[in-house]
Amino acid sequence: MPPTGPLAESDQEMPERRATSLDKALDLCEALSSVPRGVTLSDLARQLRLPPATTHRLLGVLRRRGFVRQDEDTGRYALTLRWLDLSFRALGRSEIRLHAYPVLREYVLRTHVRAFVAVPPDGEVTYVWSAGADEVSMYTAYGKAMPSHCSLYFTAEQETARRLVCVKLDRAADVRRSPEVARRLGSEARVTRAHALNCSCAPVYDYNGREVARVGVFAHREDERLLHEQHVAAAWGLAGAISLRLGHLGSRVGRSGE
């Protein structure tokens, strides 16, 4: 026998009420997405044809959840980057590759130097290199925290035949100090170009200032000249450009002169 009385009425009305509120909240967010500089409560209520009290209540909920912010000076409401955070969770490392690809593509086509983007927590490294006048090739290796030439490039037998010079940048000042920061592995004796590898990488930050990846450049060179004169600064610049695409506006990336 179906329930009767106040309980039955409440059960029947609550799903409809929740759906209605959810629709209004989503309409509100869609409206805010088209006004990056923000909008006043009255204008938003007028646009959505909602009572100001209802609009204010929905904005209050979205503010508490961190999806909407209100400018203290103008009183205007705007979306926050928390929506971007949800996108990152849904898209994961694919989002990082999506923003890194155009930056790395332009660089490798212009310089013919190989580049990579590594997502250490996910054990993924994507290599990008020039394959023609306007073409690039990519290869993604899974199960590696960093590029193979930065982790297990050497075995005991190979140390006398290979050399790796690696500059892992953490601060802008490291760009100018790259000869001091450089880590040198392998033989100090002269080796062939095919067995001498120079590599530099820099941190990629998201809009929350979290390091989410490493981007770098590498090349087979018998000396370190190009590494310190060009590639180190290039790695830092690439990381800064990708970080900006991810919404990072801080000062830690992109300034090589600090």
Give me the domains of the chain, ranges plus CATH numbers: 6-80 (1.10.10.10), 87-245 (3.30.450)
Residue range 87-102, pLDDT digits in tens: 655 555 567 888 899 9
Quick one: pLDDT band at residue 36, thresholds 50, 70, 90? confident
Residue range 149-205, pLDDT digits in tens: 565 444 545 555 678 889 999 999 999 999 999 988 876 666 666 678 899 999 999
Model pTM score: 0.61
Which of the pair, 252 or 76, is modelled with greater confidence?
Answer: 76
Share of the chain above pLDDT 90, in %: 45
Token pair 């000076």 is at which residue? Answer: 73
| Range with lowest mean pLDDT among 48-57, 142-151, 195-204, 243-252 | 142-151
Range from 8-12, 189-193, 221-225 that averages highest in pLDDT: 221-225
Distance between CA atoms of 163 and 146, rounded to whole angstroms? 18
What does the mean pLDDT of the chain come to?
81
The DSSP code sequence of the chain is ----SHHHHHHHHHHHHHHHHHHHHHHHHHHHHT-TT-B-HHHHHHHHT--HHHHHHHHHHHHHTTSEEE-TTT--EEE-THHHHHHHHHHTHHHHHHHHHHHHHHHHHHH--EEEEEEGGGTEEEEEEE-SSS-EEEEEEES-SS-GGGSS---TTTTTT-EEEEEE--STHHHHTHHHH-EEEE-SS---GGGEEEEEEEEEE-TTS-EEEEEEEEEE-SSSHHIIIIIHHHHHHHHHHHHHHTT---SSSS-TT-
Q: Is the pLDDT of residue 57 over 80?
A: yes
Token pair 């759906």 is at which residue? Answer: 19
